[in-house]
Amino acid sequence: MKRSGIVFFPAFDWSLGDTHPEREERLLYTQEQLFEEGVMELPQVKQYSPGLASLHEVLRTQALFPHPDKHDLAAHLIAAGCAIVLGDAWAHNEIQNGFALVRPPGHHSGATVLGNRGFCTINNEAILINHLRTKYGIKKIAVVDTDVHHGDGTQDIFFHDPNVLFISLHQDGRTLYPGSGFTHEKGGPNAWDTTLNIPLPPGTGDEGIHYVLENWVLPRVRDFKPDLIINSAGQDNHFTDPLAAMNVTARGYGKITELIRPDLAVLEGGYSIETALPYVNLAIFLALAGEDYHQVIEPQKPQRQLLNFQELKRYIKELKINNKQANPHWTTREEKSLPGGKWAFIPHSVYYDTDGIQEIRQDRVRMCEHCGGTVLIESQNAYAGEKFALIRIPFNACKECRQAGEDLWGAFIGRKTSVLFQDQVHDSIQLWNVQEGVRNF
Amino acid sequence: MLLKEIQVGIDVGGTFTDAVLLEDNRIVEKAKIATQAENVLGTVLHALDELKVYHKVVTRITVSTTLITNAILQQRLPQVDLLLFPGSGMSLKALKWPVPYQVLKGELDYRGREVSSPDELEWRRLLNRYQEFPGSKVAIVGKFSHRNSLHEENLAFYLQKHCPDLEICLGHEWGQANFYRRSLTTYLNLACEEVYQTFAHQLQQAVFQKGSSAKIHVLKADGGVVPLQTLRPVESIYSGPAASILGALAQTNTGPDFDSETDQSFVVVDIGGTTTDIGLILSGEPLMSAYGAKIGDFSTLVRTLAVRSIAAGGDSTILSEGDGFRIETYRRGPAYCLGGPAPTPTDAMCYLNLIPFGDRLKAEQGLVQLLPECKRDSFNLERLSNEILARFADNIAQAIESIIREWREEPAYKVWEVLHPHEEQNMFIEVSGGGAPGLVKALSMRLNSPVKIGDFPEVSNAIGAALARPTFSCTLHLDTFMKRYQIEETGLQGEWLGSRKPHKEIEEFLREIAEKSARDQGIELKKPKIQPFDYFPIVKGYQTVGQIIQGSLIVSPGVRGRLKS
């Protein structure tokens, strides 16, 4: 039995469109199931009321361009706010673990935000993590993303952060959105090997995913010695998911939760709203609360074929080798326009499927042996042409990197449509744009 | 000439029973008598005599009693067999069941679709048992039966066909989600039926025999009244605290217009003999609890006002402890100043001249026992008395803070609700109960807000009972794809023949059901409010194929006009 907190926020008056998967109905049957089972009656369970994240909380972690006002944020701020409510309860030791059973999701939303992608506008877990680091000085955090899609947004936000271990298990990006999350994506130069991607083949199933957790993910988490473990608990690995094909059951999810033992779990995707969500959510929460989840049985039975377990083991073995052998893929150069030191240069692009935006990104991080390194991200909306910049002085930044960040901020004001300065050391967030000049958030 | 409206209110409390007779909202008679714990009926009849009820043409008698509360807490209930269809899901053992149950096969899902059917063999075995005990009481409850009563109804029909004397109750009649609470509520209600019916019948007879044609009503936990005959017994638990909240509401000053509704927000503190009840009135309406009532080990679906009860009252025994004192949770008798055996908070009030009753010399004799011999002087007696009241006030203040927190932290499931949170309100405190005047100062010091006191604090609960209005609630859950609807409060279930995406007509549909249900319960619907409907489009393959619609018609708790002085 574990003291467990839950925030249930189904956003019953909000959707991304009438027939959109992210609609009012999504958690309705989950509510029916949880309330009828009486999980809130469990003596160890405490239900918390939703919160509302401030823009300061959001901008500390993500740059919303051209301006936060240009995004429709209300529901997203509540989802992030709910995660924070549970985070605070955890930090105050009111609960041993918690489940933010909220929509909309967040794990496809990255360091820069030009719009909604994969139904996500802001990243609930990342905002939660940086809140807990700022407010309570939590040092090391592990994120295990068990959504069937690659948690590319979370990866993007913590790619250069040596104190956040990000592990994503997902269906191989060659067969599923967002098409990333390969074994060679292992983190930036100052955070090498703190990103781990495990792309799994369709048909992996309960046994397969538990094997991967026990033999790869959990040892990595243990070695990292995190102060906090977060589970991005997407539910689209379920065997009834219409898009993915991972063949995991509700009980399989219960075991996943039991194995990861997250301090905080946050709902991500999962759109099989009738046949999966009511059961998977129940199993996850029972597992968190230390109750028996083996009686959670969906009415349907798996139809798809399971991958042969021995074959899967061989596949994982190969993945491990690929992961080990993967080499850094950035170029380093000294640029006259940048403050002193070596800067790694990583250009890439991001597609916002919901809003149809193509973002061209030029990421730079100051190579540093003492800290995560100051980050400069130049972003451009490929169609509209607007240009933006994010300058981030990371938590625990060394003196040189702090100076580099200050210098960049001074230099970039006026050169873009908008520029965001995230000073995570001093928890100071400033946004410059043409209309408003500099504004503190 | 218009006939005068004569209203009688009786609140049978743990220690005392308060009673009032009002004529057009003006107090004409009042009485306070000792409660005979083992004879609630006798106590009520005694109170009616004291009020000289039989000399007047009384319109309505409203009774608030501890009959059912005590029957449950003292475990004087007959045996009920609890038969469950729990299906799969959370283990039954995860929650504490205060009564035994038997598990049967058969499962429904959250939309009331059958997942697996019941087992005929199991039913036959049950039948064999009941043929041996044909007068048994049987509660049958299924998980998701509030969405489909099929399994419950079929089993009841099957058993009753062969054993017509079985007394059977079905869970779906308590149609809110929560299988665990539904099971225990169904169980309790059936278990209380006999003791309640006996009381109701005898009371009706006694009043009738004395020549009164007054309608007899009963007060419920949610502050509403229903005719004696249509009450579901378990709903009468905790009517005492409801009476005190309504009593305070009836005594709020709204200026010259006694029929107008108050829009004030305040905290009600009712100080009884051994318990103090605290409730909240927000913009003139008593706050309902977001959860069902809990009584003893039973969590129920009974709708109740949000109330905090603390185990301290004017008669609570005070013992010395080390250098100080402790306020106990029990009563050994009246206060020392009223001839009782031990010092109490009432003695502190009496010693400080805060209340108009009690023998001050005796109060002093009682209180002095709590002081060491070297400190038995007037300075220390005064300090002790103030400390006792300050501690009492502090207990109350903590309960007030807790109830306000509950209100602020109610769960919210919509964006709109989170963006429009409950606003801070300037609240005053209204105290009632015999010891009310004694706590005004201590409470206002501790809470830093104004503390008021009604004109009749000693019979405030009876006033609340006399003036209570019916409450009503009818919540519709309609699934146009499944073509089925259910009503939470009564468990009514039916087939929907209308459109898949209804709009305006849904309000009329709900209104018709509500009006019929109110008629059946003998309730007059006064100023019903329809709350905005929630619409959930049901989508299959990018097509909207139906809707789930939820909405309710309610009459909030309140009083029939103000008390006139």
Question: Does the beta-carbon distance from A12 to B94 stay under 8 Å?
Answer: no
* CA A334 to chain CA centroid, nearest Å: 32
**pLDDT (0 to 100) of residue B273:** 84
Token pair, residue B541, equals 């393959």
Which element (helix H / strand E) includes B538?
strand B534-540
From chain B, the residues in CB contact with A74 under 8 A are 415, 419
> Which chain A residues are Cβ-neighbours of B536 within 8 angstroms?
12, 24-25, 28
Of A60-64, A255-259, A300-304, B153-157, the one with minimum mean pLDDT is A300-304
B529-553 pLDDT, tens digit each: 999 899 999 998 889 999 999 999 9
Q: Which one of B145, B174, B405, B413 would you mutate to disrupt binding with A, by most A Cβ within 10 Å of its Cβ?
A: B413
Measured CA to CA in angstroms, residue B329 lies from A100, B242, B313, B316, B384 at distances of 40, 21, 8, 6, 19
Catalytic machinery residues of A: 108
Q: Does A296 touch chain B (CB under 8 A)?
A: yes
pLDDT digits 0-9 by tens, B427-436: 899 998 888 9
Kindly state the DSSP code that residue B342 receives in the 8-state scheme.
Answer: B
Higher pLDDT, A334 or A119: A119
Contacts of A223 (CB under 8 A, 6+ apart): none
Classify residue A288 by its DSSP letter: H
Find all residues with CB under 8 Å of A419, minimum gap 6, and list them: A388, A389, A390, A391, A409, A412, A413, A431, A432, A433
Residue contact A13–B548, C-beta within 8 A: no
Structural domains in chain A? Answer: 4-325 (3.40.800.20), 331-440 (no CATH)
- Mean pLDDT value of segment B336-365: 95
Q: Which of B90, B299, B531, B535 to mutate to test the interface with A (most CBs of A within 10 A)?
A: B90
| H or E element, residue B363 | helix B360-368
State the pLDDT at residue B433.
Answer: 85
- How far lies B436's CA from each of A379, B79, B206, B363, in Å? 68, 42, 35, 17
What is the spatial distance between Cα A154 and Cα B40, in angstroms, rounded to a whole number? 66
| Residues from chain A contacting residue B178 (CB–CB below 8 Å) | 35-36, 38, 41
What is the per-residue pLDDT across B443-456, written as a single tens digit (0 to 9) for each? 999 999 899 998 88
User: CB count, 10 Å around CB of A28?
Assistant: 24
> CA nearest B477 in A: which residue?
A32
Instruction: Please check whether residue A191 is in contact with residue A367, taking contact to mean a CB–CB distance below 8 angstroms.
Output: no
Asked if residue A419 lies in contact with residue A410, where contact means CB atoms within 8 angstroms, the answer is no
Find, in chain A, the residue whose alpha carbon is nearest to that of B178.
A36
- Do you know the residue count of chain B? 565
Q: pLDDT > 90: what percent of chain B?
A: 80
B94 contacts A291? CB cut-off 8 A? yes
**CA end-to-end distance (rounded Å), chain B:** 23
| Cα dihedral across residues A169, A170, A171, A174: positive or negative | negative
- CA pair distance A202, A304, nearest whole angstrom: 10
Task: Identify all chain A residues contacting B95, using CB atoms and an 8 Å cutoff.
Answer: 38, 41-42
Query: What would the pLDDT profile of B12-52 be if each residue is shown by its tens digit?
Result: 988 889 999 999 999 999 999 999 988 999 999 999 999 99
What is the nearest CA distance from A322 to chain B, expressed in angstroms? 39
Question: Cβ separation of A38 and B110 shorter than 8 Å?
Answer: no
pLDDT of residue A14: 95
Cβ neighbours of A103 in B, within 8 Å: none
d(Cα B238, Cα B73) in Å, to the nearest integer?
12
Q: Is A299 on the interface with B (CB under 8 A)?
A: yes
Judge: A36–B416 Cβ closer than 8 Å, yes or no.
Answer: no
B336 DSSP 8-state letter: G
Instruction: Please write the tens of the pLDDT for every residue from B228-280.
Output: 999 999 999 999 999 999 999 998 866 556 556 678 889 999 998 888 999 99
Structure confidence by residue, pLDDT tens digits, A369-405: 999 999 999 999 999 999 999 999 999 999 999 999 9
**Per-residue pLDDT, B259:** 59
Are B90 and A37 in contact (CB < 8 Å)? yes
Top residue of B172, B418, B419, B531 to mutate, by most chain A CBs within 10 Å, is B418
- Which pLDDT score is estimated for B256? 58
More confident residue, A52 or B322: A52
Q: What is the pLDDT of residue B290?
A: 87
Q: What is the pLDDT of residues B42-82, one digit of tens each?
A: 999 999 999 998 888 999 999 999 899 989 998 889 999 99
Of B177, B534, B544, nearest to A12 by CB-CB distance is: B534
- The C-alpha atoms of residue A179 and residue A40 are separated, in whole angstroms, by 38
Q: Which residues of A touch B537 (CB under 8 A)?
A: 18-19, 23-25
| Cβ separation A12–B536 shorter than 8 A | yes
Where do the DSSP E strands lie in B283-422? 285-286, 294-295, 298-299, 307-310, 316-321, 324-331
State pLDDT tens for residues B384-427: 999 999 999 999 999 999 999 888 888 999 999 999 888 777 88
Q: Min CA distance, B89 vs chain A (Å)?
A: 4
A203-257 confidence digits (pLDDT tens): 999 999 999 999 999 999 999 999 999 999 999 999 999 888 999 999 999 999 9
Query: Can you tell me the mean pLDDT for A80-90?
Result: 98
Which of A38-42, A275-279, B13-17 comes out lowest in average pLDDT? Answer: B13-17
* Region A286-305 average pLDDT: 94
Determine, for residues A38 and B90 on separate chains, whether the beta-carbon distance falls below 8 Å. yes
Res. B1 pLDDT band, cuts 50 70 90: very low
Residue B230: what pLDDT? 93
Contacts of B448 (CB under 8 A, 6+ apart): none
Question: Mean of the per-residue pLDDT values for chain B?
Answer: 93
Tell me whether residues A13 and B416 touch, CB distance under 8 A: yes
Please give the interface size between A and B, counted as residue pairs whose CB atoms are below 8 Å apart.
118
Q: Which ipTM value was assigned to this complex?
A: 0.93
Q: What percent of chain B shows pLDDT beyond 70?
A: 98
Of all residues in chain A, what percent carry a pLDDT higher than 90? 93
**Confidence at residue B55, expressed as pLDDT on a 0 to 100 scale:** 85
| Cβ–Cβ below 8 Å for A24 and B94 | no
